[in-house]
Structure 1
Amino acid sequence: MDGFVHQGQITKVVFGSGTRLRIGQEVAALGCGRAVVLSTPGQAAQAAAVQETLGGMAAGAFAEAAMHTPLHVTRRALRFVAAQQSDCLVSVGGGSAIGLGKAVSLRTGLPHIALPTTYAGSEMSPILGETDGERKTTRRLPEVRLRTVVYDVDLTVTLPPAMAAASGLNALAHAVEALYSQDGDPLAFLMAGEALTALTTHLPGVVERPDDIGARSGALYGAWLSGACLGTVGMALHHKICHVLGGMFALPHAETHAVVLPHVVAFNAPSAPRAMARIGTALSAADPATGLYEFTGRLGVPRSLRELGMPESGIAAAADRVLENAYWNPRPVDRRAATGILTRAWRGAAPTE
């Protein structure tokens, strides 16, 4: 066997049903007693419910988290957290709330606990993406690792099927890139494969039977594994493209992942045969890129960047930005390749190498 380096996790994980009720216990376990709850405006009610569960430990709620973690929102959150004299952060929601928690934790040193309500996986990674204007910068920082993640499948039941599908495909993208990561290792490969199997098995059930707790639980399990993979290995071309598009055009994060993934897989297929075989096994597909494209269609998510609001005129500039500070990728990427991937993704065409 070839040599490898495995980066272990330090985040405590609590998984189950009803686990949100022990959030106060987890705050106390960190030696804390004044928690600010972070959420998006749309999840203010859930943030209020978490405050109620925390009781006297709740130091207020900041419900202004936004997609792609804009710096101006982080600055407002920092002022709020300081005013409440809080000693920890509890984010409830998906990648937007958790991203804000990471940004505040980085700047304050406060411990961060998350109650995820989507399949984004950000809670398990040391990756912080922040947006300033039209430019999104992504960094891998051990300091932003969460101390505790409380997965409560009951919190995902109200996630609408369309959002659940897109969020699950976002998680799927983490697992796919872990299969061919430059710094991958045997354990990451096994976790990524298990994540793919869990997500491809259970996401259709979440969409077709939204009240199926078994499907919701299986999808959340897959999302946890995908996030853990993202936390231990590096990202490649797919994530670079999605970060560029999110920063330049403010496209919805999860849906962008869903659209782009089949096209990047088609491009990388010749240079990552072992990864492609594992993706094909999970999807029961001879061609993994086509299998992913058909799977996104089955889940009913958008399949073109045009549907998400990206202008066709932006393709050239986005291709240039993809090549700036490029991420490692198993297959070298030039401007022609980047433009081709973006053009097919914009059109929603079937993926091709």
Structure 2
Amino acid sequence: MRTFVYTANPARVIFGSGTIASLGDEAARLDAQRVLVLSTPEQKELAEHIAANLGERAAGTFAGATMHTPVQVTQEAMTVASDLKADAVLSVGGGSTTGLGKAIAFRTDLPQIVVPTTYAGSEATPILGETENGRKTTKSDPRILPEVIVYDVDLTLTLPVSLSVTSGINAMAHAVEALYATEANPVISLMARDGIAALARALPTIHADPQDRQARGDALYGAWICGVCLGSVGMALHHKLCHTLGGMFNLPHAPMHTAVLPHAVAYNAAAAPEAMQQLSLALGVPDPAIGLFDLARNLRATMALRDLGMPENGIEAAVSQAMSNAYANPRPLESQALADLLTRAFRGEAPAGS
């Protein structure tokens, strides 16, 4: 008999095609009268379109979200929210915008609606990662969990193939670590396998035909399920490394996760054999670390951290920061082994042991 604890996070999810038409009704359900719509600068037009459709319920827009959720940007958005007397936030976009909405909600407890346009999956978690002074830190709190997620497959049809690939593999990372997290349990493991399998099935099809609606739907579904996994159990080495690299070097979020994930899996393989077996089944490959590496490389993802902007002389400092305040992990963190891991990822080499 296996002993475990399972805690479900409350959530309302609307999934389908054309579902953004329901945003006004969802705002009404939350009794939100002055909704601040958030986006990145690149998605300002979409944010303004959604605000226009909200009509009198829209307080305005803030199109300044950026990756790794810098505290300074959050402070700017907080000023706008206060000036507009916003009573809810609506985040439209990927993890950058979702992170900003969470950061505001954590500080104000304003209700959140999220409209994902990538496969980030973070919208399904009560976890917030923020960057300040070159360091990214995370926190978990019920105020951070969005009240409503509206998934509209139509909004992902124009997501560039390269971002679709890395965003999808970033989502897979949430479920991969859920398989061997300290709080792992049978329910989340079932969801993790299903989410990983959905994304592994969908991404090659999207790469071949970006307009394949079934594949787009599978990827969006997989991203949601993988996000639920991350929000229900803890994180381990992979996320610690990515939080470290993102905070120190401001590397692009999803491509960085894509490049690091196979190496983190290889690092933990011997220490988490049951999780590796489940991951192999989900991916349909005998070696999950190599399977993830080949999947990403065959879909033309950038696999070398140096090509993403990481300096080679940053490896030692990254190891030092990752070793401090480390997340729970199946295999103890060893500085030389982590340096070897990051060196291989820096060069874009296949995972160790392959």
TM-score category of the 2 structures, normalised to the smaller one:
over 0.9
Amino acid of the structure 2 residue aligned with 1:168: G
Amino acid of the structure 2 residue aligned with 1:152: D
Deviates more, 1:166-175 or 1:273-282: 273-282
- Structure 2 counterpart of 1:86: 86
* Distance (Å, rounded) in 1 between the aligned partners of 2:158 and 2:288: 31
CA deviation vs aligned residue, 1:240-292 (integer Å, no higher than 9, x gap): 00000000000001001100000111110001111111221222211111111
* Distance (Å, rounded) in 1 between the aligned partners of 2:345 and 2:141: 31
CA deviation vs aligned residue, 1:167-190 (integer Å, no higher than 9, x gap): 000001001001111001110000
Offset of residue 11 of structure 1? 1.3
Q: How does 1:79-158 map to 2 (within 5 A)?
A: 79-158=79-158
- Structure 1 counterpart of 2:294: 294
Identity of aligned residues (%): 52
* Distance (Å, rounded) in 2 between the aligned partners of 1:13 and 1:283: 26
- Structure 2 counterpart of 1:276: 276
Q: How does 1:1-353 map to 2 (within 5 A)?
A: 1-353=1-353
* Distance (Å, rounded) in 1 between the aligned partners of 2:143 and 2:251: 28
* Distance (Å, rounded) in 1 between the aligned partners of 2:15 and 2:202: 17
Offset of residue 296 of structure 1? 0.6
* Distance (Å, rounded) in 1 between the aligned partners of 2:235 and 2:166: 19
Offset of residue 56 of structure 1? 1.2
For the aligned residues, what is the CA RMSD? 0.8
CA deviation vs aligned residue, 1:127-180 (integer Å, no higher than 9, x gap): 101111211111112211110000011111111000010000000100100111
Amino acid of the structure 1 residue aligned with 2:61: A
Secondary structure of residue in 1 paired with 2:307: coil
The TM-score, its normalising length taken from structure 2, stands at 0.99
Offset of residue 9 of structure 1? 1.7
Amino acid of the structure 2 residue aligned with 1:275: A
Secondary structure of residue in 1 paired with 2:306: coil
Secondary structure of residue in 1 paired with 2:308: coil
Runs (4+) of structure 1 moved beyond 2 Å? none
CA deviation vs aligned residue, 1:92-123 (integer Å, no higher than 9, x gap): 00100000000011111110110000000110
Amino acid of the structure 2 residue aligned with 1:115: V
* Distance (Å, rounded) in 1 between the aligned partners of 2:209 and 2:278: 27
Secondary structure of residue in 2 paired with 1:136: strand
* Distance (Å, rounded) in 2 between the aligned partners of 1:307 and 1:275: 30
* Distance (Å, rounded) in 1 between the aligned partners of 2:179 and 2:258: 17
Secondary structure of residue in 2 paired with 1:306: helix
Unaligned runs of 5+ in 1: none
Secondary structure of residue in 2 paired with 1:322: helix
Offset of residue 52 of structure 1? 1.7
* Distance (Å, rounded) in 1 between the aligned partners of 2:258 and 2:205: 18
Amino acid of the structure 2 residue aligned with 1:297: R
CA deviation vs aligned residue, 1:272-315 (integer Å, no higher than 9, x gap): 11111122122221111111110011111101101101010000
* Distance (Å, rounded) in 1 between the aligned partners of 2:317 and 2:279: 31
